């Protein structure tokens, strides 16, 4: 295993590029200066981890079973001094590596979430939804923080309050990366722009408060943000928790197509 740098060709190789949608977050993680970035000598394994977060693992689908096992062993050796909180990747590979790392560090793996990666090569925006898209304003930071805390509780099942999300809200609002669907006086839904990879733009932080659901706000906002991404010549993409079939159906109706399953494995 050896380090890699953004732009050195590791993430531009054809096998990885073909799976850019499913492994889109590896691009974002790799751009973080303090992230851990490792690749095998032939580039058929890529590992990226932001400090304190799950490591993301990619293995080329062209590898045979024995070659996969050998590279997982090499990665485990390279991370001998690490204590990963978890691993994300294709379900079988993430589970296999989490079992290795967990056995070495005395912890048990558990599946925290299984996500479908979606991309929308041709959008089908909804019609008849009241309201419009706009950016969150600086004077709405408290409301944005409440929405972000609600998303953390809903999606990750973790305790969260608005006070703990204020810094994130401020960062996203200043960067013009947090969108609202406004129907009336204040925002009724939220969606974020997570950044671009060579071919895709990622939508994240999708949330509608419980009392405003079933009105089409979330789907309309996702479609509007996706339209902005498509206007930049990029393919909109997002991750959706497969535990929420209603949300997945909404995304499919909007034109999002499945592009790969990702398992989020935690180590306890």
Q: Give, for all 268 residues of the chain, the pLDDT tens digit.
A: 999 999 999 999 999 999 999 999 999 999 999 999 999 999 999 999 999 999 999 999 999 999 999 999 999 999 999 999 999 999 999 999 999 999 999 999 999 999 999 999 999 999 999 999 999 999 999 999 999 999 999 888 889 999 999 999 999 999 999 999 999 878 999 999 999 999 999 999 999 999 999 999 999 999 999 999 999 999 999 999 999 999 999 999 999 999 999 999 999 9
Report domain 132-259's class.
alpha beta
The H or E element spanning position 226 is helix 217-231
State the pLDDT at residue 155: 84
State the pLDDT at residue 124: 96
* Helical axes 245-253 vs 217-231, angle rounded to 10°: 50
Q: Are 190 and 205 in contact (CB under 8 A)?
A: yes
State the pLDDT at residue 220: 98
CA distance 213 to 217: 7
Break the chain into its structural domains and give their ranges.
2-107, 132-259
Tell me how far the alpha carbon of residue 191 is from its chain's centroid. Answer: 13
Residue 142's DSSP bridge partners are none
| CA distances from residue 212 to 49, 89, 103, 137, 188 in whole angstroms, order as listed | 36, 33, 45, 20, 6
CA distance 29 to 264: 15
Q: Are 180 and 134 in contact (CB under 8 A)?
A: yes
């Amino acid at each position: 295993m050896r380090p890699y740098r953004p732009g050195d060709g590791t993430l531009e190789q054809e096998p990885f590029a073909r799976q850019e949608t499913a492994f889109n977050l590896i691009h974002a993680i790799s751009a973080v200066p303090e992230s851990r970035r490792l690749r095998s000598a032939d580039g058929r394994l890529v590992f990226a981890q932001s400090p304190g977060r799950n490591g993301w693992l990619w293995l080329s689908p062209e590898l045979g079973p024995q070659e996969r096992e050998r590279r997982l062993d090499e990665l485990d050796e390279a991370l001998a001094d690490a204590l990963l909180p978890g691993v994300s990747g294709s379900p079988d590979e993430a589970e296999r590596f989490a079992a290795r790392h967990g056995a070495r560090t005395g912890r048990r793996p558990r599946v925290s979430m299984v996500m479908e990666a979606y991309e929308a090569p041709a959008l089908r925006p909804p019609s008849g939804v009241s309201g419009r898209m706009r950016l969150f304003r600086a004077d709405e930071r408290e409301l944005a923080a409440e929405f972000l805390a609600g998303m953390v509780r809903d999606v990750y099942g973790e305790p969260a309050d608005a006070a703990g999300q204020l810094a994130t809200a401020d960062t996203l609002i200043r960067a013009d990366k947090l969108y609202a669907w406004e129907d009336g006086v204040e925002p009724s839904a939220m969606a974020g722009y997570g950044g671009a990879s060579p071919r895709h733009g990622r939508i994240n932080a999708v949330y509608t408060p419980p009392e405003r659901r079933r009105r089409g706000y979330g789907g309309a906002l996702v479609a509007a943000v996706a339209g902005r991404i498509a206007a930049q010549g990029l393919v909109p993409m997002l991750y959706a928790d497969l535990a929420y079939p209603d949300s997945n159906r909404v995304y499919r109706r909007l034109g999002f197509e499945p592009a790969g399953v990702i398992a989020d494995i935690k180590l306890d």
